[in-house]
Amino acid sequence: MKNIKKSDGFVAFFNLNRYLCNSYQKRFVMNRIPRIITLWTMLLCAVCLAAQNMMQVSGRVVDAQTGKPLSQATLVAKGTNIATVTNDDGVFLLKLPSGRARVNVSHMGYETAGLTVSENHVKPFEVKLKPTAFMLDEFVVWTEDPHDLIRIAVSKITDNYSKQPERYQTFYREMVKKRNRYISVAEGVVDMYKSAYGRNAFRDGVSIRKGRRIISSRQKDTLSVKVLGGPAFPIQLDVVKNLNFLLSEEELSGYRMSMGEPTAVDGRMQFVVKLEPAMIREYPLFNGTLYIDRQTLAFTQVELSLDVSDRQKATEYMLRKKPSGLRFRPKELSCVVHYRTGDDGITRISYVRNTFAFNCDWKRRLMATPFTAICEMVVTDHTQEGAKPLKGHDTFSTRDAFYDKVDFFLDPAYWEDYNIIPPTESLEDAIDRLMKKR
């Protein structure tokens, strides 16, 4: 178990050879200029053609009482598999086939709201979600013991989740901040294959459909951070499928469990189970919260935060390699995994976000420099048709870095009709500044 956790956990790799990195980037651009021009022209033509059949819906989701923006709110076009989430500013952008559509907007602890959208509506929406009023309707009473509740929920995974292989279209983004300034952004449209639940995830995989990146050119940003695994991390963090990560009997035996206050997701009441470490192991455990649907006992959300109180264990878990003389101090490794139940009654992974924070300093320096790496993935579409394991050069292993397989920021119409998570205001400004310095 220790080896599984070390290989599949989130790790960072530090590359101080800035000169080689910059030289490689220059050769990369020069070798691809003719192809980039051709592709750019083709993409612009494709955008013009596709725009005739698509409409764009945008807006902001806020708390109806406080006006506070709600991040990670889910938007799903009714009768389709098309979906997205809001960014940290509560802003959303959804691209749908032209015509009229009904979009459901939901968030943990809020009542679901509906939008009727059409190609004639051009103004951004402001969606105000009301906090859930706890109306305890009739529901099946399974058990109020958290251990038994999780055990029953695990036994029902094959009933609640897909029994068939599926292919997902996703949008993936990873960002690195030095202090409060973004120094690296990489993002892309990624295909993900998932075999049937109840089976081992070793055949699951991801591959790039298209992607881009940008990095700071400042010489002071000599510490380049890469989160290994790249967009493969949603496969690793699918705790409902990878039971050994958290939900196996062996792993759960290391935790103390308690029932939390109930809440609602998509108008459905949820059991809430709190986890905290109850024993000392050779690797660090998590503090966490599990949300379980009261009717079906499907896991709907998992929130985890690594216990970093033992700095040495946390460092061994989070860090793969560092330069000699560099001191690494872990601060945070947290993640959230959302699952969404579709109109067909099947629950699927829909959103994953991981935050990886640490301080670094050289032995002779007095002040440490804080770094934060954030990865997020949203499922924008899925299908069972033609779902086969992914192969080829653009397929990722859990040790591959997304940043090494994508091009640089170029085309402003790059995403065409793909659904994405719009950048927050601060990230948008950071990209503009980084682009001007190139």
Q: What mean pLDDT is predicted for residues 409-414?
A: 76
Looking at residue 401, what DSSP letter applies?
A: -
Task: Decide which of 13 and 107 is more confident.
Answer: 107
Report which of residues 33 and 88 the model is more confident about.
Answer: 88
What local confidence, expressed as pLDDT, does residue 431 receive?
85
Residue 367's pLDDT is what? 74
For 13, how many CA atoms within 13 A lie in the half-sphere containing its CB?
13
Cα separation values, 19 from 5, 216, 265, 369, Å: 34, 13, 50, 21
The string of pLDDT tens digits covering residues 242-278 is 999 999 999 999 999 999 999 988 888 899 999 999 9
Cα–Cα distance, 398 to 381 (Å, whole number)? 23
* Residue 375 CB-half CA count within 13 A: 25
Report, as an integer, the average pLDDT of 235-248.
93
Return the bridge partners of 264, or none: 269
Burial class (CB in 10 A: 0-12, 13-18, 19+), 142: middle
Look at residue 298 and tell me whether its pLDDT is greater than 80.
yes
For residue 27, the model assigns a pLDDT of 33
Q: What is the per-residue pLDDT across 208-219, written as a single tens digit (0 to 9) for each?
A: 999 998 887 775
pLDDT tens sequence across 14-56: 333 332 233 333 333 333 334 433 333 344 444 443 445 889 9
